Structure 1
Amino acid sequence: MLIEQIWTANAYRNFNYLIACPETGEALAIDPLDHRQCLATAKRNGWRITQILNTHEHGDHTGGNEAIIAQTQSKLLAHHKARNKIRGVDKGLAAGDRVKIGERVKLEVLDTPGHTMSHLCLFVPSDPPALFCGDTLFNAGAGNCHNGGDPSALYATFTQQLALLPDDTRIYPGHEYMENNLRFTLDREPDNRRAMALLAEVKSQNPNHAFVSTLALEKEINTFFRLGNSTLIGKLHEAFPDLPKAPDPKTVFLKLRELRNKW
């Protein structure tokens, strides 16, 4: 499997992705907002974009669909619940489906509601594995639920799906928010040495060659995976004095999401 992470350099800080089969050169474009860069990258590598996949229905993930389809006649894939939200979907996907690229690349579809209720992620059981997670999981953060989402569903996605993936899974998010998310981690966990060291490392990173984290690292630096951390819970009591002394993980997650919305 060949991966190109494409930095759009736009106000929303989007990442687009191309995944290609090394044997056939067929490629899948994930959330190709910057269609010009996606097409140019495919051409430079000698690849043919034959499929587009939208992780969810928001315009900053679907905006390049029509331009790429016009030039490549690619098939458009999306969550089966997004057919009436994304124009021109050729195939609706559900949990457990497989997306095949060329001869050698197969991706597993995860139904991952939360950011929206028709959001999917793609898991690649390669060596090492990879997760293309749209706006569900960010480096050191989690997607918001403002536009058609639900934080309780996002909690279930994190705890019942993402946390159970292999620790060496590489994380490929839909946006580059790492520095700001690490600052939120340190606001909640001032003693998180791993987050502190990583913030110093990525503060001046070039998003064209962005840091790629793993699930194991996310469990060290991402508050939304660290729901039992004593420092985090102590700080949470400062913000929410009526919180039970030992809040359950879901309550911690929901309160963190509430704080992050205002932070």
Structure 2
Amino acid sequence: MKRTYGPLTVVQFPCLKDNYGFLLREEGSGKTACVDTPDADAIAAELDRQGWGLDLILNTHWHFDHTGGNEALKTRFGAQIIGPSGEGDRIPGRDRAVCDGDEVALGDVIFRVIDTPGHTMGHICYLFDEGHVGFVGDTLFSLGCGRLFEGSPEQMWASLSKLKALPADMTLYCAHEYTAANATFADSLGEENAALAARIGEVKTLREKGEPTVPMTLATELETNPFLRADAPSMQAAIGMGEAAPAEVFAEIRRRKDSF
């Protein structure tokens, strides 16, 4: 699947069991990047299909299904590996460490880095503000969010709040096709939400056709994603936490999802 955002072309393709690979190309210079490296062979094959080289690898966090292809792709293409400074030395082959507020240039496209700890302590996202598109790794999923392997609920809620504050028309690319399972969980919480019901139907239709549910718009997630709605009175009421702080509501929703 190929989409364009001003000068940026994004090619999306499946990797491993439920990951997505993303190739990013700045059309003016022909410079190309990939976001994470779940499968070096699949990424190299897609680059070959497109007739592209690989200049940058943009890692969001250290997990193997996001960095496992780093060194093989660096060896073959000579790509520079950019990754979060907060992950220490756990990013294989990292050449440049970045953190909140840093910028990464791909030709004339400038990505802004934001820190989003929670799933891991050093997780980052890459935002192309001019094109209203972002790559959020495992911080946010369609109708879901990343499991808290390292961070606290308070950290993750703060990270999600950064994403909530972005322009509503931002298109977001997350790293996994988890939406159908997330939809089932979201529905189980019992919030009266017409937008969620519509999204569940849309997801069902897409998956029956074998089509991806990613990317998604932030506007849709704000209306339907229970983890972004921990500050919504209707969600707080649905789970019986009408007087609780949003971070506490988020923690309860995450707890329920972990055992769902």
When normalised by structure 1's length, the TM-score is 0.90
In structure 2, stretches of 5+ residues that fail to align are: 1-7
Q: Tell me the alpha carbon deviations over residues 86-108 of structure 1, each in whole angstroms, 9 at most, x when there is no partner.
A: 22210000111111112x21110
Counterpart contact for 1:186–1:192, Cα < 8 Å: no
Counterpart contact for 2:55–2:77, Cα < 8 Å: yes
Aligned-partner SS, 1:247? coil
**1:126-145 counterparts in 2 under 5 A?**
126-127=130-131, 129-145=132-148
Query: Post-superposition shift, 1:43?
Result: 2.2
Per the alignment, residue 33 of structure 1 pairs with 38
- 2:128 aligns with one of 101, 124, 127: 124
* Structure 1 range deviating more: 226-235 or 78-87: 226-235
* Structure 1 range deviating more: 91-100 or 188-197: 188-197
Per the alignment, residue 113 of structure 1 pairs with 117
In the superposition, relative to structure 1, how do residues 76 and 213 fare at CA in structure 2: closer, same or farther (>3 Å)? same
Query: Post-superposition shift, 1:152?
Result: 1.5
Aligned-partner SS, 1:224? coil
**1:61-76 counterparts in 2 under 5 A?**
61-76=66-81
Query: Post-superposition shift, 1:221?
Result: 0.6
Counterpart contact for 2:177–2:214, Cα < 8 Å: no
Per the alignment, residue 3 of structure 2 pairs with none
Per the alignment, residue 77 of structure 1 pairs with 82
Aligned-partner SS, 2:169? coil
Q: Distance in 2 between matches of 1:22 and 1:54?
A: 21
In the superposition, relative to structure 1, how do residues 59 and 211 fare at CA in structure 2: closer, same or farther (>3 Å)? closer
Root-mean-square deviation (CA, aligned residues, Å) is 1.7
Aligned-partner SS, 2:72? helix
When normalised by structure 2's length, the TM-score is 0.91
- Answer yes or no: is 1:218 the counterpart of 2:225: no
Q: Distance in 2 between matches of 1:212 and 1:53?
A: 18
Query: Post-superposition shift, 1:32?
Result: 1.6
**1:55-204 counterparts in 2 under 5 A?**
55-102=60-107, 104-127=108-131, 129-146=132-149, 148-159=150-161, 161-203=162-204, 204=206
Counterpart contact for 1:7–1:208, Cα < 8 Å: no
Per the alignment, residue 240 of structure 1 pairs with none
The one-letter code sitting in structure 2 at the alignment partner of 1:199 is I
Aligned residues: 251
Q: Distance in 2 between matches of 1:207 and 1:48?
A: 29
Counterpart contact for 2:173–2:214, Cα < 8 Å: no
Aligned-partner SS, 2:54? strand
Query: Post-superposition shift, 1:214?
Result: 0.7
Counterpart contact for 1:142–1:224, Cα < 8 Å: yes
Q: Tell me the alpha carbon deviations over residues 63-116 of structure 1, each in whole angstroms, 9 at most, x when there is no partner.
A: 1111111110111111112231122210000111111112x2111001111111
Per the alignment, residue 29 of structure 2 pairs with 24
Query: Post-superposition shift, 1:211?
Result: 4.1
Counterpart contact for 2:191–2:238, Cα < 8 Å: no
The one-letter code sitting in structure 2 at the alignment partner of 1:180 is A
Per the alignment, residue 2 of structure 1 pairs with 9
Q: Distance in 1 between matches of 2:78 and 2:179?
A: 35
In structure 1, stretches of 5+ residues that fail to align are: 238-242
In the superposition, relative to structure 1, how do residues 229 and 210 fare at CA in structure 2: closer, same or farther (>3 Å)? closer
